[in-house]
Amino acid sequence: MAVPTEVRARVEALRAEIRRHDYLYHVLDRPEITDAEYDRMFRELVDLEARYPELVTPDSPTQRAGAPPAAEFRPVPHALPMLSLQNCFRDEELAEWHDRVRRLLGEEQVEYVCEPKLDGLSVELVYEDGVFVVGSTRGDGRVGEDVTANLRTIRQLPLRLFPVNGSVPRLLEVRGEVYMEKAAFLRLNEERARRGEPEFANPRNAAAGSLRQLDPAITARRPLKLFCYHVGRVEGIEIRSQAQLLTTFPSLGLPVNPRWKLGRDLPEVRAYYRELLAARDEVPYATDGMVVKVNDFSQRERLGEIARAPRWAIAYKFPAEEALTRVREIVVQVGRTGALTPVAHLDPVEVSGVTVSRATLHNEDEVRRKDVRVGDWVIVRRAGEVIPEIVRALPERRTGEEREFQMPELCPACGGPVVRPAGEATHRCENLSCPARIKEAILHYASRRAADIQGLGEKLVDRLVETGLVARISDLYRLRREDLLAVERMGEKSAQNLLGEIERSKGMSLARLIFALGIRHVGERVAEFLAERFPSLEALSHATVEELTALRGVGPQIAQSIVSFFRNEENQRLIAELAAVGVDPRAGEPQAGPLSGKVFVFTGTLGGLTRDEAQRLVASRGGRVASTVSRQVDYVVAGENPGSKLDRARELGIPVLTEAEFRRLIGY
Ligand code: IVH
């Protein structure tokens, strides 16, 4: 089918508009339209591309994510090597560098550009005729790794450059830094802790770990950002200085850090450094110093490089963020997810402008490895400028009064048993009703994909727990109208609605209930799988590690976690209580779910599912499977070599789904 000219034109116009708004939003932080208007445009483009797939081009804004996972990163040679920077730490060293630059340039006038040194990972982005074609990491400077598909998911990175004076450069090799903002890093770590995943040590590791993912879909979910600050090969555009580069890049759509300044002499460069140091905690990204670069590119050429670093630039690093202090006590904190973290309480000490009185020791192994004792003198550091940590203890200063740290056997918050799963470094309290965990446990229980109790948000949960109305999840089902009305700002209508929602949640499916408990490593998929294999929560609670690992799809880690969860007496009590208040779904019973009331018929062979599995999948979502096609049937799912049922479905006009469509419908 030929594509109508007006469609072609509309697609181009939409892309240009979306690119412009992406730039305004992600690069300039100055949106001109609402999110809803943007979404509308984006959806129109998606629809048109779906209808006319021949119009899809790799640089379309719809094509950022969606590349399949890679088996490995292909090596990419850099046409020009990616150099590193020489470092200095003191004003005198900076002055020496400046003197050398002046001497080598025959005492001619020299101007500098000063920029923050970003703490991320450097990348090269190759644009051919304005289109982003390859992106790579620095690697060893000569050969990097192909991370194109991952880089494409960074919304600040233009897939196509804007024309400047009517044209785009033939070739532009852009260099810059992929980084994660400090706030985003903290949020990511919080999320990871909640899911029981290891946390990143600092924003740089988080950025590197996120970019070096074989599956671009994972990178797409990480809040990565980009600043561009340098070039490799350039054809079809002339850039003669750093100042020109930093003003040209934004007009091409490339993000640059606006916090750069010209330094016309050494005092100006030093002033910039002090300014940057003072602003260090306020800027949203991690920075570990200033980079000073000779502005003029022809001067740079004359200066050349030594030992894989240019003579024309230097990194003036911030002072080491370390200080000496004493450990007063090591206190174990129970996090919202039940993780026990030893935290050193310190004699307050200033570390690069911030008073530090606590430092995390992460876990028991870390305390042993660093051999930190109560009373020890220690060196503390603000790692990635965010979380203070103890670098090491100074055993030579010990008096003999110091005390070794012991991980408690009972949870400091609820007094219940503490477990350390095999192969993991973290001790945990598994009691879902532990006061340290209860708020998070309720929020997860009530979340949309679990019990889906709408109106039970963070503030309300805080109030319910703090007033003592709810101490365990089962207490939710005992709430009365009067209780809720006594809660601040809760009106009659909201109270009624909430009670209705809580009541409705009793009908949730077994899969949702299993997921709602927030057992570590048991996500939605695993919960569905378990619900298909166990008739009730009670039955699951008696399963052994052997029984569980015998199931395809359940590894030893998941099995251990499930068994350990149900072994906890408080959790057993909770489950009995939930059943007593009416939360006790049984597999096989018609359940409330997204497919409630829907009838399916299967015909032909399914590629990735047995008929049994398909049946259970439908049932666990509230639907039913019939064996013959009638007017009561909502969908016919046709696999390979379908039989007469397919013809019958067509006769009756019943929607026919492929296996892929069926999976999409049920979200499996
Ligand atoms: S310019 C050869 N500018 O620092 C000069 N680099 O230690 C090319 N870096 O590999 C780099 N912020 O990853 C430049 N504003 C900035 C930078 C910067 C961070 C990184 C870059 C480089 C490393 C060298």
- How many angstroms does the Cα of residue 85 sit away from the middle of ligand 1? 7
Query: How would residue 1 be classed by pLDDT, with cut points 50, 70 and 90?
Result: low
84 is in an annotated binding site: yes
Q: 475-527, pLDDT tens digit by residue? A: 999 999 999 998 878 889 999 999 999 999 998 989 999 999 999 989 888 99
Quick check: 548 and 559 in contact, CB under 8 A? Answer: yes
Question: At residue 118, does pLDDT exceed 90?
Answer: yes
99 vs 387, higher pLDDT: 99
Q: pLDDT for 633-663, tens place per residue?
A: 899 999 988 888 999 999 999 999 999 899 8
Residue 338 beta carbon below 6 angstroms from any ligand 1 atom: no
Report yes or no: 244 and 152 within 8 Å, Cβ to Cβ: no
Q: What is the pLDDT of residues 360-379, one digit of tens each?
A: 898 999 999 999 999 999 99
- Annotate 582-626 with three-state secondary structure: CCCCCCCCCCCCCCCCCEEEEECECCCCCHHHHHHHHHHCCCEEC
Q: Can you give the pLDDT at residue 389?
A: 85
In the reported structure, the alpha carbon of residue 102 is separated from the centroid of ligand 1 by a whole-number distance in angstroms of 22
Q: Sheet of 112-118: strands edge to edge?
A: 86-88, 313-317, 287-294, 112-118, 261-263
- Indicate if ligand 1 lies below 6 Å from the C-beta of 381: no
227 Cα–ligand 1 center, Å: 11
Q: What is the mean pLDDT of the chain?
A: 91
Q: What is the mean pLDDT of residues 452-465?
A: 92
**Residue 548 marked as a ligand binder:** no
Long-range contact list for 346-349, CB < 8 A, 24+ apart? 346/378, 346/380, 349/323, 349/324, 349/325, 349/380
Residue % of the chain over a pLDDT of 70? 98
Was 564 annotated as part of a binding site?
Answer: no
* Ligand 1 center from residue 362 Cα (angstroms): 31
Pocket lining: 127 vs ligand 1, CB cutoff 6 Å: no
Band (329; pLDDT cuts 50, 70, 90)? very high
Report whether pLDDT(587) > 70. Answer: no
Beta bridge partners of 381: 322, 389
* Block residue for tokens 């209808």: 51
Does ligand 1 have an atom closer than 6 angstroms to the CB of 202? no
Going by the DSSP 8-state scheme, the letter that residue 164 receives in this structure is B
| Residue 105 beta carbon below 6 angstroms from any ligand 1 atom | no
Q: Which residues contact 16 (CB under 8 A, 6 or more apart)?
A: none
Report whether 530 belongs to an annotated binding site: no
| Spacing, Cα 117 to ligand 1 middle (Å) | 7
User: Cα separation of 472 and 568, whole Å?
Assistant: 14
Name the residue among 133, 116, 117 with its Cα closest to residue 173.
133
> In this structure, which residue's CA is closest to atom 21 in ligand 1?
122
Give backbone dihedrals phi and psi of 364, rounded to 5 degrees, phi first.
-60, -45
Q: pLDDT value at position 27?
A: 83
Dihedral of CA atoms 275, 278, 280, 284 in degrees, nearest 10, equals -80
Dihedral sign computed on CA atoms, order 541, 542, 545, 547: negative
Q: Give the confidence band of 83 by pLDDT, cuts at 50, 70, 90.
A: very high
Tokens linked to 610: 């047995």
Among 45-54, 63-72, 81-90, 165-174, the range scoring the smallest mean pLDDT is 63-72
Residue 492: the pLDDT is 92
* Domains of the chain and any CATH numbers: 5-63 (1.10.287.610), 86-317 (3.30.470.30), 322-408 (2.40.50.140), 435-580 (1.10.150.20), 599-666 (3.40.50.10190)
- Going by pLDDT thresholds of 50, 70 and 90, the confidence category of residue 590 is low
Q: Which atom of ligand 1 approaches the CA of 227 most closely?
A: 15
Q: How far is the CA of 183 from the centre of ligand 1 (A)?
A: 22
Q: Is the pLDDT of residue 274 over 60?
A: yes
| Average of per-residue pLDDT across 251-274 | 96
Residue from 84, 65, 105 nearest 175 by CA: 84
313 Cβ closer than 6 Å to some ligand 1 atom = yes
Residue 216 tokens, joined: 């671009």
pLDDT tier at 552, thresholds 50, 70, 90: confident
* Long-range pairs of 347-354 with CB within 8 A, sequence gap ≥ 24: 349/323, 349/324, 349/325, 349/380, 350/323, 351/321, 351/322, 351/323, 351/380, 351/381, 351/382, 351/388, 352/280, 352/318, 352/319, 352/321, 352/382, 352/385, 353/280, 353/281, 354/281, 354/382
Q: Is 293 assigned a ligand-binding role in the annotation? A: yes
Residue 616 clears pLDDT 80, i.e. is over it? no
Examine the pLDDT at 385 and tell me if it is beyond 60: no
Tokens of 476: 């939710």
Candidate from 78, 89, 117, 136 with most ligand 1 atoms within 8 A of CB, to mutate = 117
88 annotated ligand-binding residue = no
- Per cent of the chain over pLDDT 90 is 68
Q: Relative to the CA of 309, which ligand 1 atom is closest? A: 2
Query: Do 373 and 403 form a contact (C-beta atoms < 8 A)?
Result: yes
Read off the pLDDT band of 387 (50, 70, 90): confident
Point out the catalytic residue in the list 117, 225, 598, 645: 117
Alpha helix (H) ranges present in 264-361?
266-279, 297-303
Residue 280: name the closest of 319, 224, 250 by CA: 319
Does residue 572 have its Cβ closer than 6 Å to ligand 1?
no
Which residues have a Cβ under 8 Å from the Cβ of 282 and sit 6 or more positions away?
A: none
569 known ligand binder: no
Among 89, 121, 177, 276, which is best to mutate for testing ligand 1, by the most ligand atoms less than 8 A from CB?
177
| Helix, coil or strand: residue 186 | helix
Contact 21, 39 (CB under 8 A): no
Q: Is the pLDDT of residue 589 over 70?
A: no
256: its two tokens: 């640059």
Residue 163, CB half-sphere, CA atoms under 13 Å: how many? Answer: 4
CA distance 471 to 474: 8
Q: Is the pLDDT of residue 425 over 70?
A: yes
Taking the C-alpha atoms of residue 578 and residue 472, their distance in angstroms, rounded to an integer, is: 10
pLDDT reading at 613 higher than 80? no
Residue 115 near ligand 1, beta carbon < 6 Å: yes
Ligand 1 pocket test: pick from 85, 174, 318 the residue with the most ligand atoms within 8 Å of its Cβ. 85
Q: For residue 115, which atom of ligand 1 is closest to its CA? A: 15
- The reply to whether 429 sits in an annotated binding site is yes
Q: What distance in angstroms lies between residue 528's CA and the mean position of ligand 1's atoms?
A: 48
Q: What is the pLDDT of residue 194?
A: 72
Q: How confident is the model at residue 627 (pLDDT cuts 50, 70, 90)?
A: confident
pLDDT for res 384:
52
Q: Is 208 in the pocket of ligand 1 (CB under 6 A)?
A: no
For residue 86 and ligand 1, the question of a CB distance below 6 A is answered with: no
Minimal-distance CA residue to ligand 1 atom 17: 117
Q: Is 294 in the pocket of ligand 1 (CB under 6 A)?
A: no
Virtual torsion, Cα 460, 461, 462, 466, nearest 10 deg: 110
pLDDT for the residue 575: 95
The reply, when asked if residue 317 is annotated as ligand binding, is yes
Are 171 and 128 in contact by the 8 Å Cβ rule? The answer is yes
230 Cβ inside 6 Å of ligand 1 = yes
Query: Is residue 624 pLDDT above 60, yes or no?
Result: yes
Whether residue 359 contacts residue 342, with contact meaning beta carbons closer than 8 Å, is answered with no
- Give the per-residue pLDDT at 386: 64
Global pTM reads: 0.62
Q: What is the mean pLDDT of residues 14-36?
A: 89
Which residue, judged by its Cα, is nearest atom 16 of ligand 1?
A: 117
Q: How many residues comprise the chain?
A: 668
Whether 459 sits among the annotated catalytic residues: the reply is: no
Q: Answer yes or no: is pLDDT of 202 > 90.
A: no
**Distance, CA of 210 to CA of 197 (rounded, Å):** 14
State the pLDDT at residue 588. Answer: 53
Distance CA 542, CA 523 (A): 20
